[in-house]
Each structure stands twice: as C-alpha cells, then as structure tokens.
C-alpha cells in the first residue's frame, strides 16, 4: 500500500511540475522543497523558543506570545527564502515583498486560527498544536511561495 501511495505521489508531483514549470512554478522541485522545509524547521524552532520563553519564563499569555513569534517568523522567513531557498536576494523587488507580506498575512492568520481552534476548542496543549499546524501549512506555503511570490 505504501508503494502505491508513493508512486501516486510521484506521479502527481510529475504532473504538477510539468504543467507549471512554464507558468511561474519553476521552483517547484523536490530539492527546493527540502531547502524550504529545512529553513522552515529552523525558523519554527526559533518561533517555538520565542513562544516558550514568553509563556514559560516571562508569563505572557500563549496567544499573545504566539502572535509576537509569528511576526518574527514572517520577517525571518522572507530573508531566508529569498537568500537560500529561491536565491533571489540580489534582485529583490518590492512587488515580491508585497506579495510575500500579503500571503504571509493570510497564512499567519490561518495558522493562528488553526492553533486557536486546536488549543481552545479541542483543548490541545500548544506544543502538539504548533507542530501539526506548522507541518500542514508548510506544504501550502511552499506551493504558493514557489508559484506566486518568488
């Protein structure tokens, strides 16, 4: 069953990659996603440290600490993905930065909403909620960033 699922995923990936290479999705490649995911994990750890320091050490409410950490995440992720993932730092345009801010505003709002729902309605602790939401949103963020922003 796992082999069939992997084969189907490879097939769907090949279709998406072939269909969109000429339409602005030239960065939609597995090695680019791996760079994206590696940076995302690093940035997530920074975000997690900010949340934990603010909530556990300083005593700030979790949702406020998470909002502060999201702001840092957005700024650092633009710099990282411009420099390392999509390698466009030498030719940064205002339009790309605006698109990134618009999308990350939407993405961060969705992320915040999902974490809020998991922690307040389903009574999850914030650590598993952060991990699940970060994993799910990373895939969506990569596709949008590769195809529309960068």
Share of the chain above pLDDT 70, in %: 77
Q: How many domains does the chain have?
A: 1
Answer whether residue 25 shows pLDDT above 70: no
CB 118: neighbour CB atoms within 10 A? 18
As a three-state string, the secondary structure of the chain is CHHHHHHHHHHHHHHHHHHHHHHCCCCCCHHHHHHHHHHHHHHHHHHHHHHHHHHHHHCCCHHHHHHHHHHHHHHHHHHHHHHHHCCCHHHCCHHHHHHHHHHHHHHHHHHHHHHHHHHHHCCCCHHHHHHHHHHHHHHHHHHHHHHHHC
* Residue 18 placed within a domain: no
* Residue 3 placed within a domain: no
* Residue 130 placed within a domain: yes
* Residue 1 placed within a domain: no
* Residue 4 placed within a domain: no
Residue 101 belongs to domain spanning: 27-149
pLDDT, residue 55, reads 93
- Over residues 73-119, the pLDDT tens digits come to 888 988 888 888 776 655 566 777 788 889 988 988 898 899 999 99
Q: How far apart are CA 8 and CA 18, in angstroms?
A: 15
* Residue 102 placed within a domain: yes
* Residue 11 placed within a domain: no
pLDDT band at residue 13 using 50, 70 and 90 as cut-offs: low
Average confidence (pLDDT) over 131-138: 88
Answer whether residue 1 shows pLDDT above 80: no
* Residue 2 placed within a domain: no
- Over residues 42-67, the pLDDT tens digits come to 998 999 899 999 999 999 998 899 88
pLDDT, residue 139, reads 86
């Amino acid at each position: 069953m796992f082999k069939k699922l992997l084969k189907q995923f490879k097939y769907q990936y090949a279709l998406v990659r072939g269909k969109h290479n000429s339409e602005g999705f030239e960065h939609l490649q597995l090695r680019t996603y791996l760079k994206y995911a590696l940076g995302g994990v690093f940035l997530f750890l920074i975000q997690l440290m900010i949340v934990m320091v603010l909530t556990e050490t300083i005593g700030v409410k979790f949702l406020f600490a998470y909002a502060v950490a999201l702001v840092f995440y957005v700024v650092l992720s633009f710099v990282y993905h411009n420099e390392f993932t999509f390698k466009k730092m030498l030719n940064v345009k205002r339009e790309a930065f605006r698109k990134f801010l618009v999308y990350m505003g939407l993405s961060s709002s969705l992320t915040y909403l999902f974490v809020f729902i998991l922690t307040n309605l389903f009574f999850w602790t914030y650590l598993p909620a952060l991990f699940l939401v970060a994993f799910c949103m990373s895939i969506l963020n990569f596709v949008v960033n590769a195809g529309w922003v960068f």
